[in-house]
Amino acid sequence: MTITVSAPTATSTTRATPPSPTTSSPALAVLAALPLKGRAPKTGYDRAVFGQAWSDDHAMSGGRNGCDTRNDVLRRDLTDVVLKPGTNGCVVLTGALRDPFGGAVVDFERGPGTSSLVQVDHLVALSNAWQTGAQHLTVQQRQDLANDPLNLLAVQGRLNAQKGDGDAATWLPPRKTFRCTYAARQVAVKQRYHLWVTAPERDALRRVLTTCPGQRLPTAASTAVPPVDGAKGATSPSRRPSPVAPAPTSSPVPTGTVSYENCDAARAAGAAPLHRGDPGYASRMDGDDDGVACE
């Protein structure tokens, strides 16, 4: 089964909106049907060609709801969300993230020194999209791509920086249990926006998806952002949106810090060994109390 979409064209004078799938399709089959080409030159790429960052002016889920895309995604992916009063239920002040890339529990607190602990990743990096077909999209279609919740995920800032603009051939999440979901989301984005894959990228995605042949593309409902609740405003002390990643454990999360359930989680996130004073260090993981955990 495949998802039928209207092919965008660079010369279109009307606004073409990529439709959202209502049923999921096998990711391996969709990957096999994607065009295969070499990477185009990066000439002309700039973040601005995808429109204003985190614009609310797009046709995807959450578009024109009075809330910028970054806050839409934080409200979707974080739990125990506390919203800023006077923002019509939009701006996230605090929350907790189970990082899908590495598995760590990360406390989010809005502020100049803490906001970067949680970042919103473009699963298909915009520069990758530019070099695999987005040059031929209209300006509005590129803005839709950059703000599409299907292509966005709240993740630990350190791993987002590690990924950079890499594709599946150069970077995969260290948390192996998330790789099938990660690959399926990338395939879904490539299909929705009629982007192609390079041979190394296709091979890497296929290696991942071969380990989970039943993995299906995400549906529109599974990636949609929650509505902005203007009626209640932002005075609601906490709400629990359904996260993309598994829900946090019951272990307490220190405010403004990173924590790991155990040494396996720390190693999966690429953080081990942990030294006393490092984010995520806990004495319970330092059996000989020498100041180095998960050696």
Reported pTM: 0.74
Amino acid at site 108: F
Q: How far is CA 124 from CA 3, 146, 175, 183, in A?
A: 19, 9, 18, 10
- CB within 8 Å of 47: residues ≥ 6 apart: 53, 126
Structure confidence at residue 229 (pLDDT): 78
Assess contact for 92 and 110: CB atoms under 8 A. Answer: yes
pLDDT category at 265 given cuts 50, 70, 90 is confident
Evaluate the omega torsion of the peptide bond into residue 273 and state whether it is cis, within 30 degrees of 0: yes
Whole-angstrom Cα distance, residue 8 to residue 5?
9
The whole-number average pLDDT for the span 155-165 is 97
- Give the mean pLDDT of the chain: 83
Assess contact for 78 and 118: CB atoms under 8 A. Answer: yes
With residue 157 as reference, give the H or E element that holds it: helix 157-163
pLDDT category at 236 given cuts 50, 70, 90 is very low
- CB within 8 Å of 236: residues ≥ 6 apart: 83, 89, 229
Structure confidence at residue 291 (pLDDT): 61
Residue with tokens 């960052």: 53
Structure confidence at residue 263 (pLDDT): 77
Structure confidence at residue 283 (pLDDT): 75
